[in-house]
A = this chain, B = another copy of it.
Amino acid sequence: MKKVSYDNLVQFHRAILSKVGLDDQSLQSVTTGLCETSLRGVDSHGVRLLPHYVRSAQSGRKNPTPNYRYTQTFPAVGHLDADNAFGHAAGMKAIDHCIEMAESFGLGAVGVSNSSHSGAMASFALKAARQGYMAFAFTHADALQRSHGGKRAYFGTNPVCFAAPREEKEPFCLDMATSMISWNKLLLYRSNNEMLPEALAADKDGHPTKDPQKAVCLLPAGSYKGFGLAAMVDILCGVFTGMVFGRDIPAMFKAPMGQPRCLGQFYMVMRTDGCIDKADFLRNMQQMTEEVRQEPAQEGQRVMLAGDPQEHEARKRMQEGIPLDDTSVKSFEELSKQFQVPLHWL
């Protein structure tokens, strides 16, 4: 494990992604998306993905210089054909269109087609919420969530994300997989040879298992509820956008690297002053935030709102640096050497 400062991490990403040919908008979006996600402690969706993204640019899976085609289908709904852009780049583009529509019409939605893995959806929802809007962000993923009552996965871990501004600087932000845990968390248990604390995953017959070596898919969050939410996400991101869905979505690491994944994303942004003044909305949000944080807690615990743990971690890591696991340290040092980009550890 080594640590790196946020600023150095950002500089390293910009330089590496520039060397593999990303245009300015792509480079900026991927850098912000990956680095901020690691800053917020969500390591599974952060900078550990950089080597994979470098390969994606080099292999042709992702287009480093996309030629976006945006169609304003209706005044408050648009379609962004992302030309196989990096998922982060497509998402940032889409959320900007949503903000523009929300400003004029109160509300705006964009369906994104022909994009790829977009990291943590919080990156996009937070962008809108920091500008004073409520935002929903969704993307679908390859089949890894066991169907309710089923033997195998049909839907992916299909995340649901919602953010809303308040008086304090950082917005409320819920960003959750609709499975009990993420696939990357399972891989961590697997590589550490540890048993899962409870049945969060299922084996090849669909039966719950605590053994991460036997697990081939994840259980839905809250039984049939996570399965239902995963379907909703695939309807918005796969069906609505005209992309593939369910078991037809190519797997992130198994599909050929030269093949675009043709993923969909879906965003919706709304003004906060649809019923009451913006100042009142922000004050109410702040009141809810403070009330929840003051709720009586279980011994040794604290009641926190969604996004609170990530915010705490971000403040800490901004001071103390961002820790990278040994695999990432090694691959970052290889990238540094290969592209002759200096990398400064703390």
Binding site for B on A (CB under 8 A): 73-79, 104-109, 111, 113, 134, 147-152, 154, 160, 162, 164, 172, 174, 176, 178, 180, 206-207, 220-229, 231-232, 234-236, 238-242, 245-247, 268, 270-276, 280-281, 284-285, 288, 291-292, 295-298, 301-306
Contact = CB atoms under 8 A, between A and B. Distances in A.
B154 A303 contact: yes
B134 A303 contact: no
Q: How many copies does the complex hold?
A: 2
A150 B295 contact: yes
A241 B109 contact: no
21 contacts: A73-B106, A75-B75, A75-B104, A75-B105, A77-B107, A77-B271, A109-B270, A109-B274, A148-B304, A149-B298, A152-B295, A154-B291, A172-B231, A174-B228, A174-B232, A220-B222, A221-B226, A235-B285, A239-B281, A239-B288, A242-B280
Contact of A297 (B150, B245, B291, B301): B150
Given A73-B275, A274-B240, A296-B151, A291 B235 contact: no
Between A148, A160, A222, the greatest number of chain B beta carbons within 10 A of the residue's beta carbon is seen for A222
A100 to B, nearest CB: 13
A275 B113 contact: yes
Nearest to A205: B298
Between A74, A152, A224, A297, the greatest number of chain B beta carbons within 10 A of the residue's beta carbon is seen for A74
A107 B298 contact: no
Contacts of A232: 162, 174, 306
Contacts of A73: 106, 273-275
A168 to B, nearest CB: 14
Given A107-B109, A174-B228, A147 B295 contact: yes
Contacts of A288: 231, 234-235, 238-239, 245-246
- Kindly list the 9 A-B residue pairs having the minimum CB-CB distance in the complex, ordered from nearest: A74-B106, A221-B222, A77-B106, A222-B222, A228-B306, A149-B301, A242-B276, A174-B228, A77-B274
Contact of A74 (B105, B113, B268): B105
A247 B76 CA distance: 35
Given A77-B274, A292-B231, A149 B285 contact: no
Nearest to A292: B154
A152 B296 contact: yes
A120 to B, nearest CB: 14
A197 to B, nearest CB: 12
B109 A108 contact: no
A33 B321 CA distance: 55
A295 B154 contact: yes
Contacts of A296: 150-152, 206
A226 to B, nearest CB: 6
Given A113-B275, A235-B164, A297-B151, A76 B75 contact: yes
Contact of A225 (B150, B176, B246, B291): B176
